[in-house]
């Protein structure tokens, strides 16, 4: 992309590194003040709003396209195998390659963070106006109607017959039908809330960085540009150094590279664990626990054969979800999602089509980590998801598989599906299901918490509730890496809300 002022490496009031879910929100809101000169740096390509390729437009294509994905992988860890980690490398970030789910955080997440991390200022009531200012909906149920980000609660008529049958079977199994997942009471089963239109995934590069926003004279978007590190002088972040050696001065620097890229930039800057800096001969700027609290949602797919004629290609492949509690849940936490997807290409399915029911643990106990092995900004970080380190996580995922099988025994869903292909009849008891986890657990692609925020008395916090890095002035991190632990829902929309709230306090 050749943009106005692209070759200008002079001083900017604000430099934002990363144009994804958070960075696009920040660039939009902070450049609304015409007196503020803003530079947005994006490692991927900045397509015109109406010219995104199908790989990032189509909602049925999720991640993995090498031209628009960083291509990260996890360390083998407890599972003994790598897991592909999809992260968007394009203007719009991972909002351009994800499942396009747009759910608000439940009240229980906010309450947990206030209780455990001193984040009372980030309470549920305070967060709602920032969702509302982003949302463009019909305006019913207290949702926003005039914001830039279109979201839509799917109705029963907008999902396939199998998804409707799954919902009915879950209700027959005793689960509550929810009126909508973006209400105060979110537990139950129903269709998803999506940010799609006519099969198109509406990423933040399209919706927050519209043609009108991109035309602002005080906003520069520089794409296909990799950032190496932040330069800190006398305790203040003053410049961004690009991978090619160029330096750009800024009054304030905001890292919005995401859960994997932002901590890596911090570590290359000497901001993070001191032992990491010393190991790589990086001068220590400040010793902070960057990368030590990585979390993500582990998910176990069960696979069922289904009639090819009933897949319903006109409907979203991801249609419905059950949000509930495992037998091992603590207190009133809702720790399991059962989500659904229909696939017309069945591979090994005898019917030529498959229906997938995923058991996802959205309140995991296990914690992973991220570090860097090189000072080279083109070298991928070392990512250990930490999946299934805690035995309780295994037990709760087994609970999820048992929930799926119970629902599958109820009509009308039982009449639409055929054989359970995986884990299959051979995994008939809890021990057999547990054994299958090791070979089949994957990720929901919701990584968080590598640069966690917290109150003054949280010793493990790297930033405060406004994303300001401890011990370094003029430097913020604003993206999904800030969550103190992994939220209970898909992370893109809550992270947009977080960016919206921080931008409002910066204006």
Binding residues for substrate, by number, are 444
- Among residues 171, 206, 214, 207, which one has the least CA distance to residue 189? 171
Pairing verdict, β 12-17 and 247-255: parallel
| Phi, psi torsion values for 140, nearest 5 degrees | -80, 160
Report the distance separating Cα 238 and Cα 58, nearest Å. 40
SS3 436: helix
HSE (CB half, 13 Å, CA atoms) of 162?
31
Residue 79 dihedral angles phi and psi, to the nearest 5°:
-75, -20
Task: Count the Cβ atoms, other than its own, within 10 Å of residue 376.
Answer: 12
Neighbouring-strand partners of residue 39: 15, 220
Report the phi/psi class of residue 366: left, alpha or beta, with left for phi > 0 and alpha for psi in -120 to 50. beta
351 and 307 in contact (C-beta within 8 Å)? yes
Binding-site sequence positions: 90, 98-101, 227, 444
Other beta carbons within 10 angstroms of residue 367's beta carbon come to: 17
How many Å separate Cα 407 from the centre of its chain? 28
Distance CA 72, CA 368 (A): 15
Q: From the annotation, which residues make up the binding site for FAD?
A: 90, 98-101, 227
């Amino acid at each position: 992309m050749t943009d106005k002022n692209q070759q200008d490496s002079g001083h900017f009031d604000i430099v934002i590194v990363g144009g994804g879910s958070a960075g696009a929100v920040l660039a939009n809101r902070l450049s609304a003040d015409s007196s503020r000169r803003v530079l947005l740096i994006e490692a991927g390509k900045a397509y015109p709003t109406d010219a995104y390729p199908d790989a990032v437009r189509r909602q049925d294509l999720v991640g993995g396209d090498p031209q628009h994905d960083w291509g990260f992988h996890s360390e083998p860890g407890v599972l003994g195998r790598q897991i592909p980690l999809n992260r968007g490398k394009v203007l719009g970030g991972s909002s351009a390659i994800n499942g396009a789910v747009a759910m608000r955080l439940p009240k229980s997440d906010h309450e947990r963070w206030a209780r455990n991390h001193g984040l009372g200022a980030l309470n549920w009531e305070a967060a709602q106006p920032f969702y509302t200012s982003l949302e463009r909906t019909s305006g019913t149920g207290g949702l926003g109607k005039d914001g830039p980000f279109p979201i839509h609660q799917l109705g029963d008529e907008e999902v396939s017959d199998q998804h409707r049958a799954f919902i009915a079977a879950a209700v027959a199994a005793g689960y509550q039908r929810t009126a909508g997942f973006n209400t105060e009471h979110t537990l139950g089963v129903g269709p998803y809330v999506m940010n799609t239109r006519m099969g198109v995934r509406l990423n933040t590069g399209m919706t927050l960085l519209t043609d009108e926003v991109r035309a602002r004279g005080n906003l520069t978007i520089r794409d296909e540009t990799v950032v190496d590190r932040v330069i800190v002088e006398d305790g203040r972040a003053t410049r961004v150094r690009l991978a090619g050696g160029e330096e750009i001065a800024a009054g304030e620097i905001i890292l919005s590279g995401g859960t994997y890229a932002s901590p890596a930039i911090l570590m290359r800057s000497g901001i993070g664990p001191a032992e990491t800096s010393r190991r790589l001969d990086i001068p220590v700027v400040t010793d902070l626990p960057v990368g030590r609290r990585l979390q993500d949602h582990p998910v176990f797919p069960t696979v069922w054969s289904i009639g090819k004629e009933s897949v319903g290609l006109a409907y979203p492949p991801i249609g419905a979800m059950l949000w509930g509690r495992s037998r091992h849940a603590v207190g009133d936490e809702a720790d399991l999602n059962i989500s659904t997807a229909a696939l017309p290409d069945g591979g090994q399915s005898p019917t030529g089509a498959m229906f997938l029911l995923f058991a996802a643990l959205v309140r995991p106990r296990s914690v992973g980590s991220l570090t860097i092995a090189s000072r080279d900004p083109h070298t991928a970080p070392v990512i250990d998801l930490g999946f299934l380190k805690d035995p309780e996580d295994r037990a709760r995922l087994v609970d999820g598989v048992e929930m799926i099988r119970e629902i599958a025994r109820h009509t009308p869903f039982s009449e639409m599906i055929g054989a359970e292909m995986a884990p299959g009849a051979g995994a008939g008891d809890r021990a057999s299901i547990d054994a299958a986890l090791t070979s089949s657990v994957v990720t929901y692609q919701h990584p968080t918490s590598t640069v966690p925020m917290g109150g003054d008395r949280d010793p493990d916090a790297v930033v405060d509730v406004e994303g300001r890095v401890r011990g370094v002035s003029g430097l913020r991190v604003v993206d999904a890496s800030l969550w103190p632990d992994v939220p209970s829902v898909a992370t893109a929309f809550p992270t947009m809300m977080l960016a919206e709230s921080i931008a409002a306090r910066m204006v």
